[in-house]
Amino acid sequence: LPGAVFLFLADLDQSMDGVSVSDSTEELVIESGRGVRHYWRDLWAYRELFYFLSWRDISVRYKQTLLGVGWSILRPVLTMIVFTVIFGKLADLPSDGVPYPILVYSAMLPWQFFANSLTESSNSMVANAQMISKIYFPRLALPTSAVVVSFVDFGISFLVLIVLMLGYRYAPTWRLVTLPLFTLLAFGAALGAGLWFASLNVRYRDFRYLVPFVVLLGLYVSPVGFSSSIVPQEWRLLYSLNPMVGVIDGFRWAILGGDITLYWPGMVLSVILVAAIFLGGLHYFRHAERTFADVI
């Protein structure tokens, strides 16, 4: 990290509640924070760390690549083309009165954000093992900054959606003002799942192989390449047990308007599930981080 690490080391024995030094053995003890009150205070005190971690990840993500940030556009666009051909042309699935490429791409936005966030945050603790074992800081900063970085790709990809809508002359409606609410829902789902996998990946490295499988499977069981309206009504609530169903449907409802409708029982269920995943992940992460420095 830039100068921030040196600042941490210089103030280590004076201003950090999570670090104590034994006089007799001169042993450095790195703790996860003394109590919830101090931990959340430390998150604010270390707010600049979020910036340094995020900037580091952004600067190295596409380093020494030919396309650079172009990958943020190329991946969702290629996926959109494949899904449009398979589901829109060959399977001839309904598009709810929306051009099929726009229908798919509006779902790719939250899904790509979730997939990138989950992949990066689940590996954030292991990737920063040296940092964790040497200095104290709120460990929550690592997976959170990984999710925040994914907003960069999200913003770039959103520009492509604007171009698509202009090309098809498809105008949004007033529902667009609700998009931040569904973006917040996507953030909660990504960070909650990321906290679970980041914690488990420290102790059980098998999870680094499980995450790509979860992402690939989720892409096909979530309504990315098709509209969830094709799911029979009697199965809609059960299908909504996948929390990303509500997130994706919410994005489409907010961006596309028109004949796009929301299945409100499923949306309520998705909100409840995302809240449970986020709060459960946060609780488990806080419990497990006490041993991160020892296990990692």
| Encoded tokens for 69 | 């940030």
What is the predicted pLDDT for the residue at 56?
78
Amino acid 117 reads S
pLDDT digits (tens, 9 = 90+) for 139-149: 888 898 888 88
Mean model confidence pLDDT for the chain: 83
Residue 11 has pLDDT above 90, yes or no: no
φ, ψ of residue 282 to 5 degrees: the values are -65, -45
| Residue 20 bridge partners (DSSP) | 29
Residue 84 has pLDDT above 70, yes or no: yes
Helices (H) and strands (E) in the chain, counts: 14, 2
Mean pLDDT over 7-28 rounds to: 44
pLDDT digits (tens, 9 = 90+) for 93-114: 988 889 999 999 999 999 999 9
CA distance 40 to 141: 11
Which conformational region is residue 232 in: left (phi greater than 0), alpha (psi within -120 to 50 degrees), or beta? beta
CA distance 72 to 246: 24
Residue 6 has pLDDT above 70, yes or no: no
pLDDT digits (tens, 9 = 90+) for 236-277: 999 999 999 999 999 999 999 877 888 999 999 999 999 999
